[in-house]
A and B are shown apart, each in its own frame.
Chain A
Amino acid sequence: MAKLIIPTPLRKFTENQSALESNGSTVIEAMQDLANEYPNLKKHIFDDHGKIRNFIRIYLGNDDIQSLQNENTPVADDSVISIIPAIAGGTNN
């Protein structure tokens, strides 16, 4: 099972877990598996058409999936998938 690294802003939807295991043979399947497990995460990752939102980036290892086969990039058991969010600062205003 591939490892998924959850960034700080999304951890409130994963019971504060920073890393999870996910099933799926492609990146999109792994992300869908994650969203099924944690439904509140879904709207933060997928848009209304089921596409990965463009204010988060998905990496497989150190590579942006856009430079690989995008959402259809194959995932191996030892793959590490990272969700990279846009963060702006810790302001509370």
Chain B
Amino acid sequence: MSETTFSKEELERYSRHLIIPEFNIEGQRKLKEAKVLIVGTGGLGAPLLLYLTAAGVGNIGIVDFDVVDDSNLQRQVLFTVDDVGKPKVEVAKKRLQALNPHINFTTYNTRLTSENALDIIKDYDLVADGTDNFPTRYLVNDACVLSNKPNVYASIFRFEGQVSVFNYTDQEGITGPNYRDLFPTPPPPGLVPSCAEGGVIGVLPGIIGSLQANEVLKVITGVGEPLSGRLFLFDALSFETRVLKLHKSQDSSSITELIDYEQFCGIGEETGEKYKVKEVTVKDLEQLQIKGEDFQLIDVREPYEYEIANMGGELIPLGYIEEEVNKIPSDKQVVIHCRSGVRSAQAIERLEKKYGFTNLYNLKGGILAWADEVDTSLAKY
């Protein structure tokens, strides 16, 4: 077996690794031989990819289906203004190759699915999960369990981050907990933050993604103790960090195949035939305005959303809709809107069922559709 060697340029590039006694050229060799798959090139993927590329991980796979959007640039430091609209994996590869030409990149400009996950993952030693939704998190976890690969996990929300190393098999052959040991089932859609409650402070993925990258390097090289069987928590507001113990709470053999993760997470069920509200399109609304019809526009978003962009509607946040029910007329047409149409539909359902309104119309697609089709000067968020 031929041993991995380094060129003069590589030795010089990695010299700060090579002079760490417990890391040295052996650690660097393991990095060069390693095959790491990064799922998601968003906030977490950016520092992950930059640091793993800089550190000399020899083979890096990048999965993402998305294109670069203006709203990514607040935290996804891989991308620039010129990249907006381009496929993320292609932009990332170009940027990373410029950073380190000694790395082999493979890109997958696709969504990771139950159909392709095992086939993509099989070529890698390790997966780093930098995704942003529950279905893909369970998919990555289950695919790693089925493929016997470690899953270096990180997750962020607003000011809070989590890091762990799942499904890691130690030198004694004992495999640690996986994501399902921590959270056997996902929260139902109604109990996870809605579009009014998302957001992440831009630096946080930089902090958490860098810690995730560090765990990837540790797992590959065997240097230090990987964060297996432990969950790291970081609160950027209070600057409190904690490391909690994780246990295997279920037999991982219960994961036998990849399933429909959208269904598992209850996504799609809510938009079924649950309750129908009357709708108007943004074009209908524009006509109402042009014709000077007597109607009222109500905005059920939060005040901080109103500050970003508004259509001049009366602001009654969804949480106050019943308290402020007297402000809603019942004798003329009322159009209710939110960001994309989900919260306004909830408001109408509540008002119709509880107060018997029959004159309420949901603005289809919300202010986002209005910004797309009618007033393109409005900021989308």
Taking the nearest CB of chain A, how far is it from the CB of B364, in angstroms?
17
B196: nearest chain-A partner, CB-CB: A92
B354 at the interface (CB under 8 A from A): no
Are A90 and B187 within 8 A (Cβ)?
no
User: Which residues in A have their C-beta under 8 angstroms from that of B160?
Assistant: 7-8, 87
Q: In the assembled complex, which residues on chain B have CB atoms less than 8 Å from the CB atom of A85?
A: 187
- The tally of residues in A whose CB lies under 8 Å from a CB in B reads 28
- What B residues does A93 contact at CB under 8 A? 195
Report the bound CA distance from A66 to B187 in whole Å.
19
Q: Is chain B's binding surface mostly helix, strand, loop or mixed?
A: loop
**Complexed CA–CA distance, A44 and B160 (Å):** 18
Tell whether, in the assembled complex, residue A43 and residue B247 are in contact, meaning their CB atoms are under 8 Å apart.
Answer: no
| A84 and B233 in contact, given A8-B157, A62-B242, A90-B200 (Cβ under 8 angstroms) | yes
Separation of A43 and B19 alpha carbons in the complex (Å): 54
| Cβ 8 A contact of A90, one of B132, B182, B185, B186 | B132
Q: Which of A38-93 contact B (CB under 8 A)?
A: 43-44, 53-55, 57, 59, 62-64, 66-67, 82, 84-93
Question: Nearest chain B CB to A84's CB is how many angstroms away?
Answer: 7
Given A88-B192, A91-B133, answer yes or no on A64-B197 (Cβ-Cβ < 8 Å).
no
How far apart are the CA atoms of A79 and B198 in the complex, in Å? 31
Residues B137-188 near A (CB distance < 8 A):
137, 155-160, 162, 182-187
B247 & A67 in contact (Cβ 8 Å cutoff): yes
CA distance A18 to B247 in the complex (A): 26
**Chain B residues with CB under 8 A of A66:** 247, 249
Q: How many whole Å from A54's CB to the nearest CB in chain B? A: 5
Q: How far is the CA of A24 from the CA of B132 in the complex (A)?
A: 36
Q: Which chain B residues lie closer than 8 Å to A8 at the CB level?
A: 157-160, 235
Q: Is the CB of A54 within 8 A of B184?
A: yes
User: Which of chain B's residues have a CB closer than 8 A to the CB of A9?
Assistant: 157-158, 192-193, 197
Contact call B245/A88, Cβ cutoff below 8 A:
no
What residues on A are CB-neighbors of B187 within 8 Å?
53, 55, 85-86
Residues of B close to A86: CB separation below 8 A: 134, 182-183, 186-187, 192
Q: A8-B157, A90-B156, A91-B132 are in contact. Are A82 and B244 (CB under 8 A)?
A: yes
A12, A55, A93 — which one has the most chain B CB atoms within 10 A of its CB?
A: A55
Within 8 A of A (CB), among B220-242: 231, 233, 235, 237-238, 242
4 smallest beta-carbon distances between A and B, as pairs: A89-B132, A90-B200, A92-B198, A87-B157
Task: Give B residues with C-beta under 8 Å from A.
Answer: 42-43, 131-134, 137, 155-160, 162, 182-187, 191-193, 195, 197-200, 231, 233, 235, 237-238, 242-247, 249, 339, 381
